[in-house]
Amino acid sequence: MKKLLVATDGSEHAKRALLKAIDIAGKDEEAIIDLMYVVDGETSKADVLHYGDSDTASFKREKKLKESVELVEAEGIKANLIIEHGDPEETLIDHANSNDYDLVLVGSRGRNKLQTMVLGSVSHKLVKHIDAPVMVVK
Amino acid sequence: MRKVFSKDEWLGNVRGDVLAGIVVALALIPEAIAFSIIAGVDPMVGLYASFSIAVVIAFVGGRPGMISGATGAMALLMTTLVAEHGLQYLLAATVLTGILQVLAGVFKLAKYMKFIPRSVMVGFVNALAILIFTSQLQHFVDETWVMFALVGLTLAIIYLLPLITKAVPSTLIAIIVVTALAIFMNFGVRTVGDMGELTRTLPMFLIPDIPLNFETLQIIFPYALALTVVGLLESLLTASIVDDATDTESDKNMESRGQGIANITTGFFGGMAGCAMIGQSVINVKSGGKGRLSSLVAGVVLMFLIIVLGNIVVQIPMAALAGVMIMVSIGTFDWSSLKTLHIVPKSDVAVMVVTVAVVVYTHDLSIGVLSGVVLSALFFAAKISKVKVMSLLVDGGDKRIYYIKGQLFFASVTEFLTKFDFSEEIKEVELDFTHAHLWDDSAAGALDKIEAKFEQHGTHVIKKGLNIESTELMDKIGGITKGADH
């Protein structure tokens, strides 16, 4: 297990997936964990309203996700933060398939109740369309 | 200023833009009709507006991928003008709004957006959501259970269909199903046709039929000003949201000017004033729209559908439109602001709530925003006007040192002056300003006053630690009041 991709949104569920990834990568010096966060339209609306403009919103997101990156680096594993804009599922699938990952990890259950209702099919969709093995962490 | 005919902005994403444009056109129709009804005009006025604004802004806007048209925020501001003076005055106000917005663009006023606090913006969208919702309640008055059932069905389809498929816009399916049901079951419910005429013709150039005199200007100017402010506010907010969603930059002054040109054109073609739409722009970006082509396609397809399908559109039951509007209001409301209510500072919550309350009471978003800004300024002044003064008795009781910390200006001096004991029997006081800043003549005056009062009592005053700016201020205006006393 050298190259892992973890989908994150800064939630507890995503953190569980991240911890699992750190666990799997072990103390391997060559292991790399890519952390991916996708900003969708609704997130843009809420963040711009609360932070004023796009630049500040981007800065706040990076700051929030920095914690996760530090969590990985504290274990002596290399980490990259990837922030993309678009449809979360499609963007994640595209990114996963255009790079060689040994494993893709996603947390089950996202942020709110509405998503929880839909999310069963989201993880199913990811498992179906991502070429690499996908682990759904509970 | 960026080039309007940038090849990349027009043809960089043809497939995505055309598909997204069609989706947006379908979603625009019910909204344009519903907003016309809110404003109190025929459905065609809103449809012409959405057509003309979407097409014009495609060429002159500063934010490719953003969708503009007839909006609820603007419609709500027009109600009184239409009721008291009629459509022609609304068209004239629309042209005037456009002229004011072009001026705002030319004079680069977009940067002043930063003076509007975020809690006011949150209050703005929440108030807008509440007003759109309450504007639908009139359609339920004296209605039978059929109305409630059809609205319920519309909402059920809108929210549940995406769980099965996202290929078609669920709003459109909801409208088709409910319209078909109403026609075949012959419910006899009120339809779009009952709310006004829907002429299946292209808009024509007409000069608003109003007397061109000062009295007319007096009538339309206050409305045009409110429309200008609200239109730019929502457009620039939407532009920032699209900036973020697409991770690209936009030209806010060009967008202000573009909104103006679009409104001038729209007024002359029989449409009501409009602005950018948050919801539609998010739909556009989600559907793959990024370039200028998406807005052009949305406008053209909308007009085409109205001309071809006009006789079906008039049969859409009001229940279906009310359902769509309830969905729009739920989507507009910033629900995350409720979740963070207990975390953000109480003064921010107060500003947000006051903004919402004023808008709901006055039905005028511009007054609400103004109240919010004023209240925020007051809170800020109150917060920053807290000046800390600590003191220490030294030299065996002969000298007292006052340590002053904070901002000294007109709002803080009154309280500041109460912190000194002028009648204390000491030889000398030292005022330490290392952690203070003097901002205006009130501050300089207060300092002079303190010095004068101590000296009257025979106490010598030493000032220490004034920073350069404060010293310059004292040199310029200090000493005047003291001199006048003697």
Chain B residues in contact with A87 (beta carbon < 8 A):
286
**Does the pLDDT at position A112 exceed 80?**
no
Instruction: Check B243 against A54: CB less than 8 A apart.
Output: yes
Instruction: Check A87 against B286: CB less than 8 A apart.
Output: yes
User: Coil, strand or helix: which one is B448?
Assistant: helix
| Residue A123 to chain B, least CA–CA distance (Å) | 14
**Distance between CA atoms of residues B74 and B229, nearest Å:** 10
Q: At what angle do helices B214-246 and B72-85 cross, to 10 degrees?
A: 170
Structure tokens at B96: 């005037």
Structure tokens at B182: 């109403």
Looking at the domain B388-485, which fold is it?
Transcription Regulator spoIIAA (3.30.750)
List all residues 6 or more positions away from A71 whose beta carbon is below 8 Å from its beta carbon.
Answer: A18, A19, A22
| Residue B259 to chain A, least CA–CA distance (Å) | 20
pLDDT for the residue numbered B116: 87
Q: For chains A and B, count residue pairs whose Cβ atoms are closer than 8 Å.
A: 65
Residue type, A68: S
Query: What's chain B's average pLDDT?
Result: 90
Nearest to B177 by CA among B23, B319, B305: B319
pLDDT for the residue numbered A131: 93
The length of chain A in residues reads 138
Greatest distance between any 2 Cα atoms in chain B:
100
pLDDT digits (tens, 9 = 90+) for A23-39: 998 867 789 999 999 99
Per residue in A89-107, is it b (16+ CB within 10 Å) or e — as a string? bebbbebbeeeebebbbbb
Nearest to B171 by CA among B45, B16, B28, B54: B28
Query: Does B122 contact chain A (CB < 8 Å)?
Result: yes
pLDDT for the residue numbered B4: 54
CA angle B80, B82, B87 (to 5 degrees): 165
Is the CB of residue B68 less than 8 Å from the CB of residue B242?
no
**Does the pLDDT at position B165 exceed 80?**
no
pLDDT for the residue numbered A111: 46
Instruction: Check B245 against A85: CB less than 8 A apart.
Output: yes
Structure tokens at B365: 């978003």
Residue type, B247: D
Interface probe with A: pick from B124, B241, B349, B352, most Cβ of A within 10 Å: B241
Break chain B into its structural domains and give their ranges. 7-345, 388-485
Which has the minimum average pLDDT: A74-78, B85-89, B199-203, B240-244? B199-203
Chain B residues in contact with A45 (beta carbon < 8 A):
241, 245, 278, 282, 334
Mean pLDDT calculated for residue range B69-98: 95
pLDDT digits (tens, 9 = 90+) for B15-24: 999 999 998 9
pLDDT for the residue numbered A2: 82
pLDDT for the residue numbered B486: 40
pLDDT for the residue numbered A108: 77
pLDDT digits (tens, 9 = 90+) for B440-478: 988 988 998 999 999 888 899 999 899 898 888 888 876
Instruction: Check B282 against A45: CB less than 8 A apart.
Output: yes
| Residue A78 to chain B, least CA–CA distance (Å) | 26
Is the CB of residue A101 less than 8 Å from the CB of residue A4?
yes
Chain A residues in contact with B278 (beta carbon < 8 A):
45
Residues of A near B (Cβ–Cβ under 8 Å) read 39-42, 44-54, 57-58, 85, 87, 117-118, 121
Query: Does B471 contact chain A (CB < 8 Å)?
Result: no
Would you place residue B484 in the very low, low, confident or very high pLDDT band (cuts 50, 70, 90)? very low
**Distance between CA atoms of residues B150 and B153, nearest Å:** 5
Residue whose tokens read 């002054």: B253
Would you place residue B88 in the very low, low, confident or very high pLDDT band (cuts 50, 70, 90)? very high
The complex scores an ipTM of 0.84
Instruction: Check A48 against B286: CB less than 8 A apart.
Output: no
Chain A residues in contact with B123 (beta carbon < 8 A):
none
**Distance between CA atoms of residues A89 and A123, nearest Å:** 9
Instruction: Check B247 against A85: CB less than 8 A apart.
Output: yes
Residue whose tokens read 């040192």: B401
Query: Does B66 contact chain A (CB < 8 Å)?
Result: no
| Residue B292 to chain A, least CA–CA distance (Å) | 18
Mean pLDDT calculated for residue range B153-166: 87
Chain B residues in contact with A58 (beta carbon < 8 A):
244
Residue type, B429: V
pLDDT for the residue numbered B357: 96
Instruction: Check A49 against B285: CB less than 8 A apart.
Output: no
**Does the pLDDT at position A114 exceed 60?**
no
Would you place residue A109 in the very low, low, confident or very high pLDDT band (cuts 50, 70, 90)? low
Chain B residues in contact with A46 (beta carbon < 8 A):
334, 336
| Residue A60 to chain B, least CA–CA distance (Å) | 13
User: Coil, strand or helix: which one is B98?
Assistant: helix
Domain A3-137 architecture: 3-Layer(aba) Sandwich (3.40)
**Option in B114, B244, B337 nearest A54 (CB):** B244
**Does the pLDDT at position B297 exceed 60?**
yes
Question: By 3-state DSSP, what share of chain B in percent is helix, strand and coil, each rounded to 5?
Answer: 70, 10, 25
Instruction: Check B244 against A47: CB less than 8 A apart.
Output: yes
Instruction: Check B121 against A42: CB less than 8 A apart.
Output: no
Percent of chain B with pLDDT strictly greater than 70: 97
Query: Does B114 contact chain A (CB < 8 Å)?
Result: yes
Instruction: Check A118 against B163: CB less than 8 A apart.
Output: yes
| Residue A53 to chain B, least CA–CA distance (Å) | 6
Would you place residue A117 in the very low, low, confident or very high pLDDT band (cuts 50, 70, 90)? low
Would you place residue B163 in the very low, low, confident or very high pLDDT band (cuts 50, 70, 90)? confident
pLDDT for the residue numbered B483: 44
DSSP per residue, B256-320: HHHHHHHHHHHHHTT----EE-HHHHHHHHHTT--SHHHHHHHHHHHHHHHHHHHHHHTTSBHHH
**Distance between CA atoms of residues B272 and B45, nearest Å:** 6
Q: Are strands B275-276 and B460-464 parallel, antiparallel or unpaired?
A: unpaired
Mean pLDDT calculated for residue range B386-390: 90
Would you place residue A122 in the very low, low, confident or very high pLDDT band (cuts 50, 70, 90)? confident
**Option in A48, A58, A118 nearest B241 (CB):** A48
- Which residue would you say has higher pLDDT here, B253 or A127? B253
Is the CB of residue B107 less than 8 Å from the CB of residue B273?
no
Would you place residue B193 in the very low, low, confident or very high pLDDT band (cuts 50, 70, 90)? confident
Mean pLDDT calculated for residue range B5-17: 86
**Option in A49, A87, A118 nearest B121 (CB):** A49
Interface probe with B: pick from A39, A54, A94, A124, most Cβ of B within 10 Å: A54
| Residue A120 to chain B, least CA–CA distance (Å) | 11
**Option in B122, B240, B283 nearest A53 (CB):** B240
Chain A residues in contact with B240 (beta carbon < 8 A):
48, 52-54
**Distance between CA atoms of residues B91 and B264, nearest Å:** 9
Would you place residue B72 in the very low, low, confident or very high pLDDT band (cuts 50, 70, 90)? very high
List all residues 6 or more positions away from B33 whose beta carbon is below 8 Å from its beta carbon.
Answer: B43, B46, B47, B192, B195, B313, B316, B321
| Phi and psi, residue A107, nearest 5° | -80, 145
pLDDT for the residue numbered B215: 94
Residue B236: in which H helix or E strand, if any?
helix B214-246
pLDDT for the residue numbered B482: 47
Mean pLDDT calculated for residue range B267-292: 93
Would you place residue B340 in the very low, low, confident or very high pLDDT band (cuts 50, 70, 90)? confident
